[in-house]
Amino acid sequence: TAKDNEAQVDGTKYCSCQQASEDSDDYMIACDNATCRYHWFHWKCVGVREAPIGDWMCPECEKQQTHDRS
């Protein structure tokens, strides 16, 4: 969910930047789309400056959802 700000530290590559969570000192946020390709993103990589309220989708999933609606 959007209020989660830490991914599990296990060497797994996250985010579109493909860095492991422990390689960055940035907060992480989870995409609420269950089929998201990355699931976890560094705030700075997706332009998040503060924890959003409610569900949050990464730019790629947001774009896809908008496309699917039209």
- List b or e across 25-54, with b for residues whose CB sees 16 or more CB atoms inside 10 angstroms: ebbbbbbbbeebebbbbbbebbebeeeeee
Q: Residues marked as binding? A: 15, 17, 31, 36, 42, 45, 58, 61
Q: Residues marked as binding for Zn(2+)? A: 15, 17, 31, 36, 42, 45, 58, 61
